[in-house]
Amino acid sequence: MTTQPAIEIAGLTKSYGDHAVLTGVDLSVPAGTIFALLGSNGAGKTTAVKILSTLLKADGGTASVNGHDVSTEPEKVRESISLTGQFAAVDEILTGRENLVLVARLRRLEGSGAIADALLSRFGLTDAAGQRVATYSGGMRRRLDIAMSLIGDPPVLFLDEPTTGLDPQSRIEVWKTVQELAGRGTTVLLTTQYLDEAEHLADRIAVLHDGRIIADGTLAELKQLLPPAKVEYVEKQPSLEDIFLAIVGHDGAASQGAQR
């Protein structure tokens, strides 16, 4: 693992007309970590991700990914990243397998068929491989979407609200995948509006509000921003999610629930 941060942002600004979305964002994401960018709708999370993935140009400030500046070396940046946007970026008319083969070919990899088959089995999509994506459920689509992003093993992965609109089981599947990736050394920057998602997944969390980062640190560090916890005895009630997962009988449910 390198000591150089995977993502480095300084003084980043972006406006749409009179509307300032980012007003000076500073951020540093260490390589190999899961970093969550928290914020309400319209806080500028997607704008920040689009600038980092070279889809948008910033008005001011600098941003670099994997050591490459997004404005002066966009091609190098694109070689280092994969973007899984807010809406599943899959081709509805093609089959799941064809989608994976398409991305492998565009990345000019040898053996695109074998790459596709390996990912299909890893993401539990082998049975649906020959079906058109239009027939997939939301969770399957998201898994395919993430699988497509992993082709070519990019060192930095952007996940923009990866679990928005997913049912609880699919959400847990996505979480597992993300943790597995970080275990292999991939840097993951994920945006989310679900606080529990950030709490569950992220090594570090930054809060984006009114166009700037207002808090940045590990969960433990962020907790210290509040007065120390008092000890009270409260009967532990199961959350509705615990109950839902218990009665629908999802495998990972018991362990996931017990961790809270």
Partner 1 sequence: MTTYVLHDTDVLLKRSLRHILRSPDTIITTAVTPIAMLLLFVYVFGGAIDVGGASYVNYLLPGILLITVASGIAYTAFRLFTDVSGGIFERFQSMPITRSAFLWGHVLTSVVANMTSLVLVVLVALAMGFRTGAGVLAWLAVLGIMLLFTLALTWLAVIPGLTAKTVDGVSGFSYPLIFLPFVSSAFVPTESMPGPVQWFAEHQPVTSIVNTIRSLFAQQPVGSDGWVALAWCVGLLLVAYALAMRTYRSKLA
Q: How far apart are CA 256 and CA 241, in angstroms?
A: 10
Q: Indicate the helix (H) or strand (E) that contains 245.
A: helix 240-248
DSSP 36-86: EEE--TTSSHHHHHHHHTTSS--SEEEEEETTEETTT-HHHHHHHEEEE-S
- Smallest CA-to-CA distance from 66 within 48, 55, 78 is with 78
Mask: binding to partner 1, 119-138, rule CB under 8 A, as x and -? -------------x------
Measured from the CB atom, is 88 or 205 closer to partner 1? Answer: 88
Contact between 56 and partner 1 (CB under 8 A)?
Answer: yes
Contact between 174 and partner 1 (CB under 8 A)?
Answer: no
Contact between 109 and partner 1 (CB under 8 A)?
Answer: no
Measured from the CB atom, is 149 or 192 closer to partner 1? Answer: 149
Q: Are 91 and 102 in contact (CB under 8 A)?
A: yes
- Total residues at interface with partner 1 (CB under 8 A): 32
Measured from the CB atom, is 34 or 83 closer to partner 1? Answer: 83
Instruction: Report the residue from 79, 117, 203, 241 that binds partner 1 according to the rule CB under 8 A.
Output: 79
**3-class SS of residue 212:** strand
Note the residues at the interface with partner 1 (CB under 8 A): 50, 53-57, 75, 78-79, 81-83, 85-94, 98, 102-103, 105-108, 132, 145, 148
